[in-house]
Amino acid sequence: MRTPTSKAFTPLAIGPLKLRNRFIKAATNEGMCKGGIISKGLAKFHENIAIGGAAMTTVAYCATSKDGQTFVDQAHLSSHTTQDFKVLTDAVHKHGCAAQAQITHAGAFTFLPKDFSSMTPISANGGFNKFGVMTGRYRKKKMTRSDMDAIANEFVQAALHAKEAGFDAVEIHMGHGYLLAQFITPFYNNRNDDYGGTIQKRMAFPAEVLSKVLDAVGKDMAVNVKYSQTDGKAGGNGIAEGIEIAKILQSTGAHMAQLSNGLNVESISAMFGNPLPASSAKPKNLIIRLGMMMQPKSKDPEREFSQLYSLELAKQIRAAVNMPLCYLGGAKDMDSIETLMAEGFDAIGMGRALIFNPHYIKALQNGSTAHNGCTACNQCVTMMYTAGGTSCIDPNGARGHAAELNITPASAV
């Protein structure tokens, strides 16, 4: 064992929150919320991350309302889930780790069964809704100013519920194609009012949400944002817009930005650094299976996985703002971590590496120089919303939790 000397193991302040080191478990849509109930399995998943040495774990995704969910077996922050979420946050805190709730509204990107929620989902634009073809939600509603007030208030209420449930931070999801991203990306926003047109106008509503959440909880909790540096596809936001977004987040007062990339449907390989698995994966969830069928079938030579695949983009954001930034994308060994520290990033987000081995940070801290082992096969993505929840299915990786843990409410004795 050796004493770790890397800056990555030193404490970090994000707004009012002090983290024990720089490693943040990124959001990985764990599922494990059958019928919306926060299960023992979900609490155990995050407790494992805490035991494994990360400074903060992110619970994903926590919808701001029923209408904000993408799938039915998903958590939403409300008085009904506070007690079970509190069991989760207590379990995480016991091991010196902080807990962050990723707060999200799906907008038109929703696949809920009929009659579960509104049949006309809201978005930046109105008109035909390509995500609603399977569920009869053929049309989406262009948000009015009063819809915006209501949704901004939903985010505030979700953050207040997160605080009550013991979370130390919220991460407002502005990336990947969910509601706030539907304002930011030109693929889903052709408005010609104060909320469409330039990137500054497309950011007006997401920045307003951030500002209101900061006003409500920002003194007590870290208020972070995750967003896509680029849309990863021609015709969408490029890095110039990604830089403008960072400047707006900074001037609005976000405590930290986590730098993701791409959109769920249009450019998922930009998010993961490589495509989803092709024919071998058969996710049980029909929607996810269809989503995967829409992805490229063959390997895109432009997108062969490489470590730190987002670094060149993220460096441009780093050069443009002073606010705390969390790098995300393909960090899987100590060399990459040292590179990120040397490039001036404040924190390191890890998704798949910590699904593969939740105890990897502790191993590094104990002097291991081993590569994490995750092969970036992306099969864990196909496990979302299976009974066992999101887990690594590589024979060398951590296994999922027993299915029965995943349906028992976290607070059940």
Ligand X SMILES: Cc1cc2nc3c(=O)[nH]c(=O)nc-3n(C[C@H](O)[C@H](O)[C@H](O)COP(=O)(O)O)c2cc1C
- Which residues have a catalytic role annotated? 178
Q: Where are the beta strands (DSSP E) in 337-405?
A: 347-350
Candidate ranges 22-30, 41-49, 183-191, 200-208; the one touching ligand X (CB under 6 A): 22-30
Give DSSP secondary structure letters for 75-94: -B-STTTHHHHHHHHHHHHT
Q: Given the DSSP bridges, would you call strands 347-350 and 139-142 parallel, antiparallel or unpaired?
A: unpaired
The nearest distance, CB 412 to ligand X, in angstroms, is 25
Indicate whether 143 belongs to the interface with ligand X (CB under 6 A). Answer: no
352 binds ligand X (CB under 6 A): yes
- Provide the residue type at 23 as one letter: F
375 lies in the site for ligand SF4, by CB under 6 A: yes
Q: Is 379 in the site for ligand SF4 (CB under 6 A)?
A: yes
The enclosing H or E element of 370 equals none
Ramachandran assignment for 136, one of left (phi > 0), alpha (psi -120 to 50 degrees), beta (any other): left
Binding residue count for ligand X, defined by CB under 6 A: 25
Binding-residue total with ligand SF4 (CB under 6 A): 14
Q: Which residues contact 243 (CB under 8 A, 6 or more apart)?
A: 316, 317, 320, 321
Q: Can residue 353 be called a binding residue for ligand X (CB under 6 A)?
A: yes
214 binds ligand SF4 (CB under 6 A): no
- Residues 6 or more apart whose CB falls under 8 angstroms from that of 200 comprise 244, 248
> CA-CA distance, 208 to 7, in Å (whole number)?
34
328 counts as binding ligand X under rule CB under 6 A: yes
Which member of 25, 161, 352, 401 binds ligand SF4 (CB under 6 A)? 352
Residue whose CB is less far from ligand SF4, 123 or 378: 378
**Token pair in block for residue 189:** 């926003």
d(C-alpha 344, C-alpha 329), whole Å: 16
394 binds ligand SF4 (CB under 6 A): yes
CB crowding 320-335: b at 16 or more within 10 Å, else e: ebebbbbbbbbbbbbe
Residue 39 or 378: which CB sits closer to ligand SF4?
A: 378
User: In the complex, what is the shortest distance from the CB of residue 283 to ligand X, in angstroms, rounded to a whole number?
Assistant: 11
The H or E element that residue 397 is part of is none
Give min distance, CB of 376 to ligand SF4, in A. Answer: 5
Task: Out of 99, 390, 398, 401, name the contact with ligand X by CB under 6 A.
Answer: 390
Go through 152-187 and write b for each residue having 16 or more CB atoms within 10 A of its CB, e for each that does not.
Answer: bebbbbbbbbbbebbbbbbbbbbbbbbbbbbbbbbb
Which stretch in 124-132, 203-211, 229-237, 390-398 sits in contact with ligand SF4 by CB under 6 A?
390-398
Task: Report the chain's C-alpha Rg in angstroms.
Answer: 19
State in angstroms the smallest separation of the CB of 377 from ligand SF4. Answer: 4
Smallest gap from residue 379 Cβ to ligand SF4 (A): 4
CB of residue 142 to ligand SF4, shortest distance in Å: 37
Q: According to CB under 6 A, which residues from 44 to 103 bind ligand X?
A: 60-61, 102
Name which position in 40, 46, 226, 303 contacts ligand X (CB under 6 A).
Answer: 226
- Residue 54 to residue 115: CA distance in whole angstroms: 40
Q: Which is nearer to ligand SF4, 185 or 406 (CB)?
A: 406
Shortest reach from residue 378's CB to ligand SF4, in Å: 5
Q: Which two tokens stand for residue 86?
A: 């509190």
Sheet containing strand 122-123, edge to edge, reads 122-123, 139-142, 127-128
Give the separation between CA 121 and CA 151, rounded to whole angstroms.
Answer: 12
Q: Is the CB of 236 or the CB of 330 nearer to ligand X?
A: 330
Query: Which residues would be at the binding site for ligand SF4 (CB under 6 A)?
Result: 352, 355-356, 374-380, 392-394, 397
Binding residues for ligand X, per CB under 6 A? 26-29, 60-61, 102, 173, 176, 226, 260, 271-272, 328-331, 350-353, 380-381, 384, 390
